[in-house]
Amino acid sequence: MAEALLTIESIDLKPARQVPAARKRVYIETYGCQMNVSDSEIMAGALGQAGYAETPDARLADVILVNTCAIRENAEERVIARLSQLNGYKLRRPEVVLGVCGCMSKHLSEKLVDRAPYVDLVVGPDSYRRLPDLIGRLSGEPALDVRLDRGETYVGVDPVRRQGVNAWVTVERGCDRFCTFCIVPYVRGRERCVPAAEVARQAQGLAEEGYREVTLLGQTVNAYRDGEVDFAGLLRRLCRIDGIERIRFTSPHPSEFTPGLIETMAEEPKVCKHVHLPVQSGSDRILTAMRRDYTSGKYLGLVDRIRAAMPGVALTTDIIVGFPGESEEDFRATVDLMARVRYDSAFTFIYSPRAGTAAYRELADDIPYDVKRGRLEAVVALQERVSLEINRSLIGQAARVLAEGESKRSREQFHGKTEGFKTAVFPRGAVRPNTFVDVRVTDATSHTLFGEVVA
């Protein structure tokens, strides 16, 4: 998946309701990617079924859970620092349960307990269904449950969704790819898919709740298989659900992008014409070392086929610079590929070794940090220039925008997303959240479109 910036957010709740005093309250704080957000919603659902009430305020919680990410190098230190802060609530109320969940729990396990001995609970990504029982059985010693379960897809656990206009729906868990730089298969386990009927049930329920847009999640989401239903078939099935007007997905793998998927995206108006297509490097030598299972030529051929089928499609990507052994020639190949493709935007990262990965075990981290930093600055500068050119080319055109709410900078402006996943800002007027409006673009930066609502 696109591991963008390390984020932190708590579960947004619907307006507070009266909760019986006997019901315990749980606060969940989330670090990481969209999959982590979706997992927090699953945790809230499992605990809700057991009678827990959610609270957006850690000070009021009987159970505090920190859902963690193991992807970025500095994630561990940030989480340990945050746990130390949250421990302040336990010092005032010793009965408070403090738990660590998610990828870091699986990756570090007992090391977490050593560094944060006040933690009561360490739970991995496949153990959320057991959270109520684990909490109920605490007896003074930290409880660890980080077992991976190839059968766990959380069927029957209805997530507690965050407020907003888009709902995350996890359709595939784990990964079988084992890219050499990636820790995901080791902390999330092997690939397994949520049954198509369950995905459709969730999407139908979301439509009935008023959601207009869903995003399908998976570590390699387009590898989805459920018997006779592949990912293209799943998309077509969801397109038949009344009320859902936009369908997105992230993140696909280039090697799993079939002709049938391209055809489905082109034919189905509900499927957004936006593809996040991680390339990681433009060098065939580095792609082989990364175990990415495609060449730059195959990747560019796929880009050409996608654009031929969907003119104007928005393309975004992930780029890693400074991978072990990356020469100036290898780096130049990445820059050349970026210039050739002209992405709408890109998540760019400096390679950092992650303990447990094949690259960590087998490859020396031999690129000096200042070289890595210089390469990152170069690709960021290129992408900023290209993004600005693409966005400015849209000035004068009208874009369909799903309004999300007030802009961060002004209560008089709203923001929302175009079909191509571009942020648009426009006068609030009489626009309501979760409605579609046509916005004529009047100005643009490399990250944002500005416009006026078309009557």
CATH 3.30.465.10 applies to domain 8-145:
no
How does residue 12 score in pLDDT terms, banded at 50, 70 and 90? very low
* Cβ atoms < 10 Å from Cβ of 342: 14
Residues with Cβ < 8 Å from 154, sequence gap 6 or more?
42, 46, 128, 129, 170, 194
Averaged over 1-11, what is the pLDDT? 37
Does position 95 have pLDDT exceeding 60, yes or no?
A: yes
Torsion angle in degrees (nearest 10) through CA of 112, 115, 119, 124: -10
pLDDT at 364: 97
Does position 21 have pLDDT exceeding 70, yes or no?
A: no
Residues with Cβ < 8 Å from 139, sequence gap 6 or more?
none
DSSP-assigned beta bridge partners for residue 167: 214
Class of domain 280-393: alpha beta
pLDDT at 73: 61
Structure tokens at 83: 């746990």
Averaged over 53-66, what is the pLDDT? 95
Structure tokens at 393: 């080319």
How does residue 33 score in pLDDT terms, banded at 50, 70 and 90? confident
Kindly report whether the global pTM for this prediction surpasses the value 0.85: yes
* CATH code of the region 398-453: 2.40.50.140
Rounded Cα–Cα distance for residues 433 and 80 (Å):
37
| pLDDT tens column, 319-331 | 999 999 999 999 9
User: Which among 69, 48, 37, 54 has a CA at the least distance from the CA of 168?
Assistant: 37
Does position 110 have pLDDT exceeding 80, yes or no?
A: no
* Cβ atoms < 10 Å from Cβ of 426: 26
Averaged over 212-225, what is the pLDDT? 97
Fill in the DSSP letter of residue 271: B
Strands (E), 113-195: 121-123, 143-145, 166-170, 172-173, 192-193
Fold agreement (164-272, 280-393): yes
pLDDT at 113: 85
Does position 9 have pLDDT exceeding 80, yes or no?
A: no
| pLDDT tens column, 288-316 | 999 999 999 999 999 999 999 999 999 99
Give the gyration radius of the chain's Cα atoms: 22
* Cβ atoms < 10 Å from Cβ of 404: 18
Averaged over 368-392, what is the pLDDT? 98
Share of the chain above pLDDT 90, in %: 85
DSSP-assigned beta bridge partners for residue 144: 122
Class of domain 164-272: alpha beta
Phi, psi dihedral angles at 23 (to 5 degrees): -80, 130
Pairing state of beta strands 192-193 and 172-173?
antiparallel
Rounded Cα–Cα distance for residues 353 and 362 (Å):
11
Domain layout of the chain by residue ranges? 8-145, 164-272, 280-393, 398-453
Handedness of CA 43, 241, 255, 334 (dihedral sign): negative
Phi, psi dihedral angles at 213 (to 5 degrees): -140, 140
pLDDT at 111: 83
Rounded Cα–Cα distance for residues 85 and 80 (Å):
9
Pairing state of beta strands 423-427 and 413-418?
antiparallel
Fill in the DSSP letter of residue 17: -
Q: Give the CA diameter of the chain.
A: 65
Complete DSSP assignment for 148-159: --TT---TT---
Locate all alpha helices (DSSP H) within 189-230, ordered by sequence. Answer: 196-209
Does position 17 have pLDDT exceeding 50, yes or no?
A: no
Task: Supply the mean pLDDT for the chain.
Answer: 92
Fill in the DSSP letter of residue 444: E
pLDDT at 7: 33
pLDDT at 140: 82
Does position 243 have pLDDT exceeding 80, yes or no?
A: yes
* Cβ atoms < 10 Å from Cβ of 148: 17
| pLDDT tens column, 276-289 | 999 999 999 999 99
